[in-house]
Amino acid sequence: MNAPTPKPTLRNTQGPLRGVRVVEFAGLGPAPFAAMLLSDMGADVVRIDRAGALVEARDPTLRGRHLVHLDLKSTEGQAEALGLIDQADVLIEGFRPGVMERLGLGPEAVLARHPGLVYGRMTGWGQSGPLMHAAGHDINYISLPGALAAIGTGDMPLPPLNLVGDYGGGALYLVTGVLAALLASRASGAGQVVDAAMCDGVASLMTPILGLAATGLWEGGRASNLLDGGAHFYRTYVCADGRHVAVGAIEPQFYALLRERAGLDDPAFDAQRDPAQWPELSDKLAAIMATRSRDEWTALFEGSDACVTPVLTIEEAPKHPHLAARGSFVEHGGQLQSAPAPRFSRTPSQIQAAPAVEPIAVERVLDAWRSGSSVL
């Protein structure tokens, strides 16, 4: 008698999105990052890509989903994609407007078959407007809503990596919209399209800055305001070893601790809230910060509420005692990467798997989903 075949080990299914099925159409930037977040939170994500497409196995944004190869320009490939979508709760795509429609996979066609589907669309300019078909990148999507103009030195706007447009104003708003629409769908049975445009998300992120401007607390150019490096108590400084510290002593009590620990006895520092004095005070504090190394300043401010921290490199960050204690970075598949966030007390998130390099058959996905199971 043959021994029973052992059952495959299940992927993590403990996250808060356990049982949610997502079909992701392969793309770049914010849409894959959004799919990663959903997977980390327990969703069963299947990524559709074309045959022969290269997959970077070291790219952590591709972690935690299964891979299916389909020729979406063929009738057969489109039919197989529709079969997967019919069994899904969420669809995510990041093509330019009109691409999915030309493939026969647009919202009108899909929602007619699957009325409860949440159809997430990630673009830079959105599904309408004069620029809807224009090319662009993060730097473009943050320039029009006013974010880029507010970030940088006095002489030059500087792109803040692609954190503000692609991921802050893009992926995070897409995930928020998808989850809200999913709640609405489960309550009503009616799905809908989530139009997540990076330009919209960035405009939304600018809301607090618009509030500061409305109350007269944000005016003038870059590096001249409270939160853009203009204030001497909210900026970075070069230390004696060429490395940097970040100073964020906004509140008076924290500013007092900064002065105490750094020895800022000069009465000129009494004018904390006078913007006219900020340039001179920045120069004075810069000269003081240049007298010690970054780690010396770190040790001096350790344990205080002066809001002074070292500016760590991406190599240093995982080793910091606080981040190490919280496990903010984890090793998975022999590679160091960020841990899932946020954290849940009852249904913890977890990296489900390394990026899938080899595709699986569509029928394998359908068999699992039709039976109410996760794909193994």
Q: What is the pLDDT of residues 281-328, one digit of tens each?
A: 999 999 999 999 999 999 999 999 999 999 999 999 999 999 999 999
Please give the model's pTM, rounded to 2 decimal places.
0.94
Q: What is the mean pLDDT of residues 84-93?
A: 98
- In the block, residue with structure tokens 């063929």: 74
Q: How far apart are the first and last CA of the chain?
A: 26
Q: Greater confidence, 8 or 32? A: 32
Pairing mode of beta strands 44-49, 65-69? parallel
The pLDDT assigned to 13 comes to 61
Q: Quote the mean pLDDT of the chain.
A: 94
Cα(341)–Cα(327) distance, rounded to whole angstroms?
11
2-15: per-residue pLDDT in tens? 433 333 334 546 89
Pick the CATH number of 234-319 from 3.30.1540.10, 3.20.20.140, 2.40.40.20, 3.40.50.2300: 3.30.1540.10
Cα(314)–Cα(335) distance, rounded to whole angstroms?
14
CATH 3.30.1540.10 positions along the chain are 234-319
Q: Greater confidence, 146 or 221? A: 146
Cα(294)–Cα(281) distance, rounded to whole angstroms?
20
Question: Are 205 and 150 a contacting pair, CB within 8 Å?
Answer: no
The pLDDT assigned to 376 comes to 79
Lowest mean pLDDT: which of 45-49, 52-56, 145-149, 253-257?
52-56
- Element holding 99 (H helix, E strand): helix 99-102
DSSP assignment of 214-263 equals: HTTSS-SSTTSSTTTT-STTEEEEE-TTS-EEEEE--SHHHHHHHHHHHT
Residue range 21-205+340-370 in CATH 3.40.50.10540? yes
Cα(350)–Cα(354) distance, rounded to whole angstroms?
12
Q: Which of 137, 244, 320, 332 is catalytic?
A: 137
User: Per-residue pLDDT for 140 more than 70?
Assistant: yes
Sort 56 into a burial class: Cβ within 10 Å, 0-12 / 13-18 / 19+: exposed
Pairing mode of beta strands 308-310, 244-248? antiparallel
Q: Which of 49, 89, 138, 166 is catalytic?
A: 166
166 is catalytic: yes
The residues facing 121 across adjacent strands are 93, 195
147-192: per-residue pLDDT in tens? 999 999 999 999 999 999 999 999 999 999 999 999 999 999 999 9
137 is catalytic: yes
CATH 3.40.50.10540 positions along the chain are 21-205+340-370
Cα(134)–Cα(43) distance, rounded to whole angstroms?
32
DSSP assignment of 256-278 equals: HHHHHHHT---GGGG-TT-GGGH
* Separation in Å, CA 343 to CA 38, 164, 322, 348: 13, 22, 16, 6
Cα(356)–Cα(53) distance, rounded to whole angstroms?
12
% of the chain with per-residue pLDDT over 90: 92
Query: Which of 335, 321, 226 has its CA nearest to residue 272?
Result: 226
User: Per-residue pLDDT for 351 more than 50?
Assistant: yes
The pLDDT assigned to 11 comes to 53
